[in-house]
Amino acid sequence: MFFRQFYLQGLGHASYLIGSEETGEALVFDPRRDVDGYFDAARMQGLRIRYVLDSHGHNDYLSGLTEIAQRTEAQVWGSAEADLGYDHRPLRDGEQVELGEVGIEVLHTPGHAPEHLSLLVYDRDASADEPALLLSGGALLVGDLARPDLLVGRDEAEEAARTFCATIQKQILQLPDWVEVFPTHVAGSLCGASIGARLSTTVGYERRTNEILARVSSQGEFVEECLRVDNLPAVPPYWSRMRRQNLAGVAPLGVLREPPALRPDEVRAAVAGGAVVLDTRSPEAYGGGHIPGSLNAGLGASFATWAGTITPPGTPVILVLDSAADLWTATWDLLRIGYDLPAGWMAGGMTAWRTAALELVPLPQVTVHELKSRLDSQEVDLLDVRQPDEWASGHVHRATFLTGAELPGRMDEVPDNGRPVAVMCGSGYRSSASASLISRERDLPVLNVTGGMAAWKAAGYPTTTT
């Protein structure tokens, strides 16, 4: 049996290729939208991708399922419990599929999503009857369970959590301790509150160490722990668009054109025509001078999440890059979360803009020492855009709390008291993204706190939990 995990750090996403060395058939589980890697790996092993499946309608990225189906004659599988808009073979709980020496047992594991499927995989060459691994999707995670609250309100989420409790008791914990567990939502995903750093685990290890599983004997405690609002991260606004598209069937990308290199005057004309500039440089570089009205999400592990938080959907995007070599890294990050190809990128970067004598504006950066002084003299208001658990663990007295994920829909709650607004996160990355959005949407003087809460605590300044 051939098995390979594909890890995408920026989305906290793992997908899988399983193949039979006996028949040459392969299955892709929970594929991301850029599917070349699966075909490359299959080709190197002499495998043919014959089947593809999504564990559930994902909220956090666009699936590559239809992309794979378009490129090959792969049979698309789908949950019999789902209302899917594409042709598929429906799979039901307990159904078994044999790919040569690879045995696959379908488990209906609702909780994170009502249609959710996990796959129990057998390596018949090693043991005909004992399972080897579980592709758990969004059921059992490393040190956590996937959240049950993404699709519904509080009352329905409580019912989903009760369903999840039954899934864990009747499906997951009935498996032998040695079964390896490979989730789809891994470190970096917002689909769990405290996902561990490792990319796999075992049923036995989770049985012994997973704090939520320890409460599974009491349904009331389990439901309460699953739905702790202070423990669940806020999710970016683009998530509301992903599941609908995934269930309907994502439009295949086909052959992608090259985003054009644009001169500064062309960028200025595009902005005048309604395009938005997404500046992918670091917060420090952006703060030193940027195109008026541009948004900032530094290219790196958090880029997709924050670009998807602050960039309005359906608007042409122009990229500002540190290097032309970064173009397709940024482009794929946007495509994976449902944005169109960028309308272009600025050739020569900000050097070209500056040497064209075009307007630059700064995002002033303040140290925590300056912030402390200005707060004491009531010269500035402070907006904290961290996650709820970060806020609960300690924050600056009299700060306003509004997660960056919620900021686009709650812009009117940004303090407006005739003073500058300093924006703080954990280190300065999220606050720069949030500050860039506030600067674009509100007529307010905005500052970015360099070093964020980490620097504030390192300086020994006080925090409160009330």
- Over residues 176-215, the pLDDT tens digits come to 999 999 999 999 999 988 899 999 999 999 999 998 887 7
Q: What is the pLDDT of residue 229?
A: 44
Q: Report how far apart, in Å, the C-alpha atoms of 135 and of each of 52, 96, 272, 341, 400 are.
A: 13, 14, 48, 32, 41
Mean pLDDT along residues 207-224: 73
Mean pLDDT along residues 336-350: 97
CA separation for the pair 226, 137 (Å, rounded): 17
Could you give the percent of the chain with pLDDT greater than 90?
86
CA separation for the pair 159, 365 (Å, rounded): 46
Report which of 267, 287, 269, 285 is spatially closest to residue 277, judged by C-alpha positions: 267
Mean pLDDT along residues 358-365: 97
Backbone dihedral angles phi then psi of residue 317, each to the nearest 5 degrees: -115, 130
Q: What is the pLDDT of residue 223?
A: 63
Q: Average pLDDT over the chain, rounded to whole?
A: 94
Domains, the chain, in order of start with CATH, read: 2-248 (3.60.15.10), 261-355 (3.40.250.10), 365-458 (3.40.250.10)
Grouping H, G, I as helix, E, B as strand and the rest as coil, residue 252 is coil
Asked whether residue 227 carries a pLDDT value surpassing 80, the answer given is no
Tens of pLDDT, residue by residue over 250-283, are 999 989 999 999 999 999 999 999 999 999 999 9
Please indicate whether residue 425 is annotated as part of the active site: yes
Asked whether residue 230 carries a pLDDT value surpassing 70, the answer given is no
Q: What confidence tier does 147 reach under pLDDT thresholds 50, 70, 90?
A: confident
Is the pTM higher than 0.85? yes
